[in-house]
Amino acid sequence: MTIETLVAQYGLPAIFLGAGLEGETVAILAGVIAHSGTLGFWPTLVTVALGSFVADQIFFLCGRFFRQARFVRRVSQRPFFAKALAAFEKRPLLFTFGFRFIYGFRTVSPIAIGTTQLSTARFLLINALAAATWALVFVSAGYWFGNGIEAAFGQLRLHHRLLACLAGAVLFVAALAVWTRRRWMPKGL
């Protein structure tokens, strides 16, 4: 069985889980896979958006209904949790829409928002719009990155392209993480 066959058979469920758990790297890689033609662009985009939406909705509900659970208590002790609440208090709608674009805030923020007075219905609507926008940005970046890889390296076999794009996606996310840490973390941490 080839890599192309595996991706075609199990790609969308794996992308759904990865987008919810990992995020940007999976979304970019999904765009690269869509570029290769193994999966369609639109099904890939919808799957990434749904994976992100469902994960953030679950994290929000954990913050809302399971505040005393060990997982929620442990997350609430992280430095990013207090920063997420502070950012939410300043601009609740903007932060609720944009937290997934800020590396390091992805898991903590929906839990923190779940502990606030923002209604579940309002979070659901904002989360859906933000997940769709986020998926469009990162899947498209992977799709276009796939064009660049193909132009730079010619017709590589699919698994070589995927490995090269995965390395590029990891580097992109690492650079984003360094930038975000410098931007959002207090000096000395």
What pLDDT, on a 0 to 100 scale, did the predictor assign at position 160?
60
The whole-chain average pLDDT of the chain stands at 81
What average pLDDT does this structure show over 79-104? 86
Q: How far apart are CA 111 and CA 58, in angstroms?
A: 9
What average pLDDT does this structure show over 114-127? 94
Q: How far apart are CA 26 and CA 103, in angstroms?
A: 14
The beta-strand segments (E) located in 56-136 are none
Q: Is a pLDDT exceeding 60 seen at residue 158?
A: no
Assigned token pair, 48? 């990434």
Q: Which residue has the higher pLDDT, 32 or 183?
A: 32
pLDDT tens track for 23-74 = 888 888 888 888 878 888 999 999 999 999 999 999 999 999 988 888 888 8
Per-residue exposure over 157-166, b if at least 16 CB sit within 10 Å of its own CB, e if not: ebeebbebbe
Q: How far apart are CA 18 and CA 131, in angstroms?
A: 14
Q: How far apart are CA 29 and CA 168, in angstroms?
A: 9
In sequence order, what are the residues at sequence separation of 6 or more whose Cβ sits closer than 8 angstroms to the Cβ of residue 102? 109, 180, 184
Sign of the CA dihedral 145, 150, 151, 153? positive
DSSP 10-50: HHHHHHHHHHHHT-HHHHHHHHHHHHHTSS-HHHHHHHHHH
* Residue keyed to tokens 């698994």: 159
What pLDDT, on a 0 to 100 scale, did the predictor assign at position 124?
96
